[in-house]
A and B are shown apart, each in its own frame.
Chain A
Amino acid sequence: MAQKNSTPWVDYVIFGLTVFLVFCLIFESFIDLPSLVAWLGRWHPLILHFPIVLLLMAAVIGLLNQIVPKLLLTIATLSALVTAITGFFLGTESVPKGDLIFWHQWMGAGVAFLAVVWYWLSTNHLQQTYLVKGIQVVLILLVGLTGHYGGMITHGEDFLALPRSKKLEKIPEDPLIYEHIVYRVLDNNCIGCHNPNKKKGELLMTNINELLQGGESGPALVLGDPGNSELIRRLHLPMEDEEHMPPDGKKPLTEDEIQILERWIALGASDTLKLSHLDNSEPLAGMVKKMMDSGTENSWAKLPKVADSTLQNLASDYVTIKRIASNSQALSISVFLPPEYDPKNITDLKRIANNIVELDLSGIPLGEKEMELVALCKNLEWLEVDRTPITDMEFAKIIGLENLRVLKAYETGISDESVAVLKDFKGLKSLYVWETQISDQGLSELREALPSLHLDYGIDPELKTEFIEKDTIVDSIQ
């Protein structure tokens, strides 16, 4: 049995900390911590390992009907309290508190309080009661859960999720609406249950014929009439309705996903329809493009991480570095001409070359060194080297930037020699090359090689004279 407590001050400390923790939790919204105290919270990730180990150890010893050493329980309880309090401090740094932090906080507090109750019971010689056993079991569970939630906060929610075998394929340039878009939506949301293995409600959704054939509630689709299609009707039902799909507990479809299905059905649920067949004003086109855009965001997710401090070091009054969206690793960089230009301004960007997606070097006296840097930016999608003194020799450096979508090279010295380099940018969508040495023949060669390219060679001379004629028209209106 536990011996009589010989150090009463330990009890007082535990009691004091408990009161403090209760106070913190109750008056959370009124508390405004001094920075030094808030800093103590930063120790939470270190200290938390102690109560996990010690409490689990103590609880297991107790459950095995052994006597739990008093000292072990004391230290475990103390460390649990300190961890909970520092955790609370750390939590105040993130406002508003998300669900994860909320649950972590209250379960963590629960662990601490349970430990205190156990400690109190054991000092009162109640070690071997069923109550204490119960506490020990609950503690083990709670410690596990709290730790897991804490882990999800620091490492991300899907840290422990099993690796997904299904990887999303990139949506092609001109996707088939059914195969690449609609099927993806169905696959993400429906086919998990409506496949040959499960066949919920006798409905299969793996191809269009199966959708038309339908299940227990009749056909899922009515061609051209989304309003009467069972599939759409169920998506629109209120969440609490029994017939709402996907069922309770599954993630509902987004607004856009529902609209994609609706418009696709309205247009006749064809499996040969392509994006390029759609009229510009057709809402489906917009939604599909949006989905494709989020696809490119996904491809940026693979970019290496780059710290704010790195960016801060490289940025200056003349080099603006921005993340393309907050928390994205993709960077957009603009360089402006400083009073005293040094190529180092640009070549220093080497450290983050892989992250650069947009690079604006307009009007900079670029040379070979700078273009070598550009060539290193393998993920570059947008490049502006207009109004620079580059010639074919420098331009040749950047051959093979396969992700390039937009290239501005007007008012430069490049000529027909560079057409070979340009032809190689297979993904190029827009090219601006007026006021260069590229001849008409070079341009037509380029058009042949890249038929879908939007080629801008400026305002043609005929139009220029027309402007001047127009002046007289306006005068006559007056």
Chain B
Amino acid sequence: MCDHHDKLRSNNRDLQSIEKQWDRREFFKKTSLGIGAMALGSLLQSEKLWSAVNPVAGPIDSLNSFAKNKLGLPHHLPKAKRIVYLFQSGGPSQLDLFDYKPKLKDMFGQDLPDSIRAGQRLTGMSADQTAFPIAASTLNFKQYGESRAWVSDAMPYLSEVVDDLCFIKGMHTDAINHDPAITFFQTGSQQPGRPSIGSWISYGLGSDNDNLPTFISLVSKNGSGQPLYSRLWGNGFLPTEHQGVQFRSGKDPVLYLGDPENYDGNDRRQMLDYLKKLNGMAYDAFGDPEINARIAQYEMAYRMQTSVPEVTDTSDEPDYIFDMYGPDSRNPGTYAANCLMARKLLEKDVKFVQLYHQGWDQHGNCPGGVKYQSKNTDQGTAALIKDLKQRGMLEDTLVVWGGEFGRTVYSQGQLTETNYGRDHHPKAFTMFMAGAGVKPGFTYGETDDFGYNIIKDPVHTHDFQATLLHLFGIDHERLTFKHQGRRYRLTDVHGDVVKDILV
């Protein structure tokens, strides 16, 4: 009983005749030898006759959490039940935020030694430079908390919560430009077309709250820069129900949750039932699984309208909560407001909330740019961590902060006493995690005195993804999906769980 459900059967006459030819080919393939084979072959073809028992997964079934056990998931006891991934798009400068390199001050303006760069490829933006002058950060660094973690003064709020954070200073990735790098981080492949992390988790573990999407993405409106594409939260080849649902970054994150004036909503159910019938007919004719996904989304929207219209409404939050997230949090669609929204969604057991904040691409005016970006994000990030902590949610909620790569130690463009730019640097950068199952107040990995190469405990993008899945109780080597003749996984054929950062 292997792969019946891959076969589409239609009621349309033209398609049926094609299917018959197809069946014949299957018939000969499966019954290659002998009279006994022929006898069994005729049995094989009776599949259609008995197909009533066949498991044709309806849209509701495929989201059902009990059916998920058939995937054998979770593989082990999960530490994390939900995650908020604060993606800092553009490549935040680790050298101006967390990776403190005091020795660089003495080397100001000197050329980066060839032994350090070791012929590494650079982007087209700085490869033609005649010199690679070392630029020490002009920001001040201090150590904070019991864990004595270094944070620059660009992030005063975050410095208060360092004892809850687990810094990974030895991150490295394969890609050197934004789009491939961010696609690599979110889907495990630089080429578009693979499912994103959130889709894999939705596919593997299902929903914890049937009234809300399992995977929601929020893009903040007060960041701008390299574009983001919906494929970053796309489902790739997984069933479409597992796609991330993007909330709008305005006053109404989800449109039409409330009823319009003079409409009581009473016949909506009836209307949807008829629509479902029509869609069912279309599915019978074309056998397109996207139609099932559409039916499922209509049902989801209906449940959101009837049960949780208030989920996107932050107006009942007390003032001190808004103050904690900062003044931006009253302005819907900003990073801080999205952080607050993320907390509300996580509280309602949405499994995967993905925030994106653009603009961390400081090719020029790096110190000012980093400060500006931090001003927009620092308070929100820190408040989210505090807020999750006081609600006891850090116990089973994972927080991830990071970009797609880091930035170079040498200045792109002209270096002055107070100003410099930094180019893309995939060989070493910093991320941090907090909450469920990761060590709090901990720093893992180390870079050399230039912050250019990793000298201790490197963590590759695939290792990070493997660790993330591990925290959710998933063995990254066993969550696979067969597509185009082979089984795919998030980490493809790579990735090791970074056990040293786990509690």
Contact = CB atoms under 8 A, between A and B. Distances in A.
A434 interface: yes
Nearest to A255: B499
A474 B500 contact: no
A36 B53 contact: yes
A130 interface: no
Contact of B37 (A23, A339, A471): A23
Main secondary structure of the interface of A (DSSP, over half): mixed
A327 B30 contact: no
Interface residues of B, number: 74
A470 B157 contact: yes
Interface in A361-402: 362, 384, 386
B40 interface: yes
Contact of A36 (B50, B349, B439, B500): B50
Given A32-B44, A36-B53, A459 B386 contact: yes
Contact of A297 (B30, B50, B77, B371): B77
Nearest to A321: B65
Given A27-B37, A336-B307, A326 B442 contact: no
Interface string B38-63: 01100110110111111000000000
A166 interface: no
B375 A477 contact: yes
A19 to B, nearest CB: 5
Interface stretch (B205-213, B223-231, B408-416): B205-213
Interface in B372-409: 372, 374-375, 378-379, 386, 389-392, 395
B75 A334 contact: no
Contacts of A33: 1, 43-44
Contacts of B69: 308, 323, 326-327
Contacts, number: 169
Interface string A1-31: 0000000000000000001100110010011
A165 interface: no
A430 B393 CA distance: 11
A362 B392 contact: no
Interface in A324-382: 324-327, 334, 336-339, 360, 362
Contacts of B50: 34-36
A336 B2 CA distance: 37
Contacts of B389: 456
A325 B390 contact: no
A26 to B, nearest CB: 9
Nearest to A435: B318
B349 A320 contact: yes
Contacts of A326: 69, 71-75
B391 A408 contact: yes
A38 B50 CA distance: 11
A37 B54 CA distance: 12
A24 B378 CA distance: 66
Given A459-B324, A470-B157, A317 B210 contact: yes
B102 interface: no
B156 interface: yes
Interface string B247-285: 000000000000000000000000000000000000000
Contacts of B43: 33-34, 37
B53 A35 contact: yes
A477 B371 contact: yes
A338 B209 CA distance: 12
Given A317-B303, A477-B375, A35 B209 contact: no
Interface string A458-475: 110000100110110110
16 contacts: A23-B40, A31-B30, A34-B44, A35-B54, A280-B441, A281-B442, A283-B500, A312-B66, A321-B65, A325-B75, A326-B74, A386-B392, A459-B320, A459-B324, A470-B379, A474-B156
The 10 closest A-B pairs by CB, nearest first: A35-B53, A23-B36, A432-B392, A36-B50, A317-B210, A408-B392, A34-B50, A35-B50, A34-B46, A458-B390
Interface of B: 1-2, 4, 29-30, 32-34, 36-37, 39-40, 43-44, 46-47, 49-54, 65-66, 69, 71-78, 153-154, 156-157, 207-211, 303, 306-308, 320, 323-324, 326-327, 347-349, 371-372, 374-375, 378-379, 386, 389-392, 395, 439, 441-442, 473, 499-500, 502-503
Given A336-B308, A459-B320, 5 more contacts: A23-B37, A32-B47, A384-B392, A386-B392, A470-B156
